[in-house]
Structure 1
Amino acid sequence: MERKIIKTGDGSATIHLPEWDEQYHSKHGALQEAMHVFIKMGLDFTIAEFDKSKLSILEIGFGTGLNALLTAFYGSTIKIEYTGVEAYPVKPEELVFLDYASVLPDFDTAANVFNKMHQVDWEKSSAITSNFSLKKQEKTFQEIQDQDTFDLIYFDAFGARVQPELWTEEIFLKMYNSLKLNGVLVTYAAKGSVRRAMQAVGFSVERLPGPPGKREMLRAVKK
């Protein structure tokens, strides 16, 4: 499938899939979306709400590594064990053109972290910084079998319009089972069918203001 690097509304880059007319991040702003949905509503909320000094995070759709980079950068005061699941890893030649370090305050630190994330081996946990470890897993979301493992899930799969099979009760039950009690799941999606699928498997779900260009998003908690 053809992939193109494009600039989004806030100047940060993402990958565009013309065949699906779909992007890895919001066309209104890749950085803005990631910061709002996953850092502010996910990471910051979980740390504050549950007084966490250590977090185990699962990302559904590791993709470009932007969410992982921001988590390492803005969650540096706590210990984070990060697992990123990706069925189709981004190619090294594509990563060069994303240049996410240039949109963060400390270019050298961000560039070093981003490069290291993409250089470490898949299927093993690697220390990226003193407080952040990363395990990249190349597999489909349907293959996830974790139980009571994670404090927080970034659900960043391609949208239901192009991959409806990733937004079903079956998938959200896997997410529910993989979370610890009071574990949190955040996603950019806000469709009623997605919210109902989450609720059907036991999540307590709330609608929240979305990132620029999107009215709402969802946050779910395992009770």
Structure 2
Amino acid sequence: MKRQLEITEDGSHTLYLPEMDEHFHSIHGAIQESMHVFIHQGLDRCPQQEINLLEVGFGTGLNAWLSLLHRQGKNIHYYSLEKYPLTVDEYSQLNYTQAHSPEQQALFLKMHQAVWNQPVLITEGFELTKLQTDLQTVDLSQLPKFDLIYFDAFAPSKQPELWTDEIFHKISAHCQAGARFTTYCAKGDVRRSLQKNGFAMQRLVGPPGKKQMLYGEKA
């Protein structure tokens, strides 16, 4: 599928898929959305020093890179699913690292250049395993149980097959008690499905341009 580079309102890049009429991030600000939904309402809420994290949708690598920058001494084992990885030309154009040091820029590129389907130590305390697969077919039993879920799939209207009871049961069954789940989506049927599958869910204030989001913890 063709992907077009676009600028969001906070100046950071996103990608647009014309075939799906869908953006990878909020048009109101890619970095703002990622920081609000996944860092502040996800990573920052995890009390553990050792975190097994599952991300649904590696995409541009923005969530992974921000997690590395804001891990505050935590050791993160980051597992990310992505069926259609970006090309070198695509990820090389992303502007997320422009205001950062050459060392931090190099870490972002290292994430994208890391081999698929095996763990790679990006820097001390941050190990990345990119899995070139999708959530429907991946065998989660081969991975450690998760402490944190970044659910960043395309919207339910675009990828309804990833927002089902079966999918949320699959994730919940491979989560530790107390695991955190965070997503930009705030739909009532998604909240109810997550509750049905063991997560105590609540609506929180969403990122700029979005009224609400969902956050939960596994009982």
Indicate the TM-score class for this superposition, using the shorter chain for normalisation: over 0.9
- Kept in 2: contact 1:87–1:138 (CA 8 A): yes
Q: Which of 110, 113, 127 in structure 2 is aligned with 1:116? A: 110
- Kept in 2: contact 1:186–1:220 (CA 8 A): yes
Give me the whole-angstrom Cα distance separating, in 1, the residues matched to 2:169 and 2:211. Answer: 26
Give me the whole-angstrom Cα distance separating, in 2, the residues matched to 1:2 and 1:65. Answer: 18
Instruction: Detail structure 1 runs of 4+ shifted over 6 Å in the superposition.
Output: none
Q: Give per-residue Cα distances to partners, 1:19-70, cap 9 Å, x unaligned.
A: 22111111110000000000000000113xxxx1111111000111000000
Q: Cα distance, 1:18 vs. partner?
A: 1.4
Q: Give per-residue Cα distances to partners, 1:64-106, cap 9 Å, x unaligned.
A: 1000000001104111110111111111110011121115xx3
Q: Cα distance, 1:110 vs. partner?
A: 2.3
Say whether residues 1:55 and 2:45 are aligned partners.
Answer: no
After TM superposition, the score normalised by the length of structure 2 is 0.96
- Kept in 2: contact 1:76–1:132 (CA 8 A): no
Q: Which of 183, 204, 208 in structure 1 is aligned with 2:204? A: 208
Give the structure 1 partner of residue 83 of structure 2: 87
Give me the whole-angstrom Cα distance separating, in 2, the residues matched to 1:107 and 1:32. Answer: 20
Q: Cα distance, 1:107 vs. partner?
A: 2.8
Give me the whole-angstrom Cα distance separating, in 2, the residues matched to 1:126 and 1:113. Answer: 12
Q: Cα distance, 1:7 vs. partner?
A: 0.2
| Partner SS for 1:158 | coil
| Partner SS for 2:41 | helix
Say whether residues 1:145 and 2:135 are aligned partners.
Answer: no
In structure 2, list runs of 5 or more residues that go unmatched.
none
Give the structure 1 partner of residue 170 of structure 2: 174
In structure 1, list runs of 5 or more residues that go unmatched.
none
**How many pairs align?**
217
Give the structure 1 partner of residue 68 of structure 2: 72
Give the structure 2 partner of residue 43 of structure 1: 43
- Kept in 2: contact 1:185–1:221 (CA 8 A): yes
Q: Which deviates more from structure 2 when the two are superposed, residues 3-12 or residues 196-205?
A: 196-205
Q: Cα distance, 1:145 vs. partner?
A: 3.2
- Kept in 2: contact 1:13–1:30 (CA 8 A): yes
Give the structure 2 partner of residue 161 of structure 1: 157
Q: Give per-residue Cα distances to partners, 1:134-181, cap 9 Å, x unaligned.
A: 000011101233256110010000001111111111111111112111
| Partner SS for 2:93 | coil
Q: Which of 102, 124, 136 in structure 2 is aligned with 1:130? A: 124
Give me the whole-angstrom Cα distance separating, in 1, the residues matched to 2:103 and 2:146. Answer: 27
Give me the whole-angstrom Cα distance separating, in 1, the residues matched to 2:181 and 2:64. Answer: 15
Give me the whole-angstrom Cα distance separating, in 1, the residues matched to 2:92 and 2:121. Answer: 22
Distance 1:125 1:76, change over 3 A: farther
Give me the whole-angstrom Cα distance separating, in 2, the residues matched to 1:97 and 1:119. Answer: 14
Give me the whole-angstrom Cα distance separating, in 2, the residues matched to 1:36 and 1:65. Answer: 16
Q: Which of 81, 94, 118 in structure 2 is aligned with 1:98? A: 94
| Partner SS for 1:128 | strand
Give me the whole-angstrom Cα distance separating, in 2, the residues matched to 1:63 and 1:140. Answer: 12
Give the structure 1 partner of residue 183 of structure 2: 187
